[in-house]
Amino acid sequence: MRQQISRPSDQVKGQTDDGEQGRSDDQEPEETPPLTSAPPHSLASPRRTSSSAAAKLILCGEHAVVYGRPAIALPLADIRAHVDIDDGSSGSGISVHARDLRRHWRVGDDPHGPISQLITSVLSYLQDQASLAPDLNLTVSSTIPIASGMGSGAAVATAIVRALAAHLGQELTSAEISTLVYASEQRFHGTPSGIDNTVIAYEQPIWFQRTDDGRQTTDDESADPSSVLRPPSPLIEPIEIASPFTLLIGETGVRSATRLPVGEVRRRWQAEPARYEALFDQVGAVVTQARAALEQGDLPALRRGGRHDDLPARAGELDRVG
């Protein structure tokens, strides 16, 4: 699949909601702006609310980002997860229809499933404790390949959070959405870096670096609903892409749940910390070089990149894609 990658300013500037035009080409260039909230991706009507969220790709820095090194992530705006919410009949509770998984369930019948837990935690965040739980029908669909490193789970979660907030007449910032989705990622993946929820919630190319050195969340924290407000405090910066380019993404068809390679890296790091810290340092150096190439429009340097076969990526399958 191909994805056009453009300047962040092309994605977040231009005509605003009130008709104001963005900076013209003959004005002085601005410094890289701070990370801003993503444009709204929800449409509400009296009967239905629809929302969506983009896929993502970690351009470089995967795995090492969990251990405090930087990574660069890009949103893939043309590949999306979609959520529709309709009001249910009185007393019906909350039901979910996941079309691609061919599943249909009531949240009350599957309270410990990741989507059910996300819905419960988001409603708890949005509503007063005295409020009655709403009766809702959620329909989830996605064009994002599952278990392929493209943020399918985080995109579905982001679309759900956006849709629930819009359906209840509330507006959440991208930071709030990212935090709520991160808590869901914790429950499902164990030790997520936080990069997926961030790049998908903000829908901008980002430089991401954790500041907690990969501390693993405890079981008590994961079980505590209030922990959704205590994610790591990463360094997040928008990346200025000087020259738009087309990214060719190889789809091997091999599926692997994110928690499996993440857990394998952690086991290797625990067994050989010195070796893997050195590897992570090398990855970090490649990421720094890639950012400079993006900001300077040096695509040949970006193509050279780097690969680390000691990390559990599936380079062999990609090498065989003809």
Model pLDDT for residues 21-71, shown as the tens digit of each residue = 344 444 454 555 677 777 666 665 557 999 999 999 999 998 898 899 999
> Is 25 inside any structural domain?
no
pLDDT (0 to 100) of residue 72? 96
The strand pair at 2-5 and 245-248 is best described as: antiparallel
Looking at the structure of the chain, the number of domains it has is: 1
Q: What is the CATH number of the domain that holds 127?
A: 3.30.230.10
**pLDDT tens-place string over residues 117-162:** 999 999 999 988 667 789 999 999 999 998 888 999 999 999 999 9
> Is 223 inside any structural domain?
yes
> Is 8 inside any structural domain?
no
Output phi, psi for 3, to 5 deg: -140, 125
Cα-Cα end-to-end distance for the chain: 13
> Is 194 inside any structural domain?
yes
> Is 19 inside any structural domain?
no
> Is 173 inside any structural domain?
yes
Instruction: Give the count of beta carbons closer than 10 Å to the beta carbon of residue 217.
Output: 18
State whether residue 180 is helix, strand or coil. Answer: helix
Cα dihedral 151, 153, 158, 163 sign: positive
Give the structural domain span for 156: 36-317
Q: Is the pLDDT of residue 101 over 80?
A: yes
Of the candidates 26, 38, 65, the one whose C-alpha atom is nearest the C-alpha of residue 288 is 65
> Is 1 inside any structural domain?
no
Of the candidates 186, 94, 196, 207, the one whose C-alpha atom is nearest the C-alpha of residue 144 is 196
